[in-house]
Amino acid sequence: MKPSRDITRLIEIMAALRTPGTGCPWDLEQNFATIAPYTIEEAYEVAEAITRNDLDDLRDELGDLLLQVVFHSRMAEEQGAFVFGDVVEAICRKMIRRHPHVFADPDNREADPAGAQVTWHRIKAEEKAERAARRAQPEVEASSLLAEVKPGQPALTRAMELQRKASTVGFDWNDPRAVLAKIREEIDEVEAALNEGDNAAAHEETGDLMFALVNLARHVGADPETALRATNAKFERRFGYIERALAAEGRDCRSATLAEMDKLWTQAKREE
């Protein structure tokens, strides 16, 4: 099979990968839940390529993201739910509907950008109400204060928004030190789950601990995503220091002990 600029070829490739007996074993064992993290990861890699203004990389990352759409569509087709063409038609319909100032009768077009924005949000709200009705969501859920927080956001961002919304009605701590007490409580609960060998409880309590840490970030005025990115970069710098120091001795991390690496880590911190 040869590559092509036609989207049909990508759909054919995915179908081949998902064909029992002749397809790829890894692709065949995937489902929506297992692929979802890769979809999020590819979206972040698109954003990262844009940040670096690397258009060659952006082209490749957009392809990876498109593959995710095709992958999900193929799995849905196998279940008889929808096909890739339905996905394309749905977004086309949505964009035409949300831009009456572009696609409506020329005599009725909205030339004012502010007016176009109002129209966009009105139509989007109508679509949201239609989806809620289609999913038969309880009225109390639709009217909840937290219903305004988008469910598709990254977990850290959504945790921050849920907490901010709750804080508007006074459901919040008044002092960051109170959040610290909650963090200590959650750490104790993680430890208790580990001591009992209860992995499911440890998983749940770890989530509670992370939620509390986001709350601390909010109370000290830090964006958790930005703070974690900075820490990631710091970890990379310091681990890179360890690798370079060992390489200067003709060694690598695999041949070093944890004590040796800890010592180099401390040196890296001191130099910073």
Q: Dump pLDDT digits (tens) for 7-61.
A: 999 999 999 999 999 999 999 999 999 999 899 889 989 988 998 899 999 999 9
Look up residue 99 and give its two tokens.
């831009």
With 0-12 CB in 10 A as exposed, 13-18 as middle and 19+ as buried, what is 205? buried
- pLDDT at position 141 is 57
pLDDT of residue 102: 83
Residue 267's H or E segment, with its range, is helix 258-271
Which tokens in the block code for residue 204?
């749940």
Is pTM, for the whole model, over 0.75?
no
Within 13 Å, how many C-alpha atoms sit on residue 6's CB side? 5
Note the pLDDT tens digit of each residue in 104-114: 766 555 556 66
Q: How confident is the model at residue 106, as a pLDDT?
A: 61
Q: Looking at residue 140, what is its pLDDT?
A: 39
Distance of alpha carbon 13 from alpha carbon 261, whole angstroms? 45
- Domains contained in the chain, CATH given: 7-98 (1.10.287.1080), 155-220 (1.10.287.1080), 226-271 (no CATH)
Triad 67, 70, 76: Cα angle to 5°: 145
CA-based Rg of the chain, rounded to a whole angstrom?
25
Confidence of residue 84 (pLDDT cuts 50, 70, 90): very high
Q: Using an 8 Å Cβ cutoff, are 84 and 15 in contact?
A: no
What is the per-residue pLDDT for 108?
55
pLDDT grade for 139, boundaries at 50, 70 and 90:
very low
Residue 74 CB-half CA count within 13 A: 22
Supply the pLDDT for residue 48: 87
Model confidence pLDDT, tens digit, residues 178-217: 999 999 999 999 999 999 999 999 999 999 999 999 999 9
pLDDT of residue 243: 96
Mean pLDDT of the chain: 89
pLDDT of residue 176: 94
| Rounded mean pLDDT, 246-251 | 96
pLDDT of residue 143: 66
**Is pLDDT of 138 > 60?**
no
Mean pLDDT of 83-110: 83
Which whole number is the average pLDDT over 211-224? 95
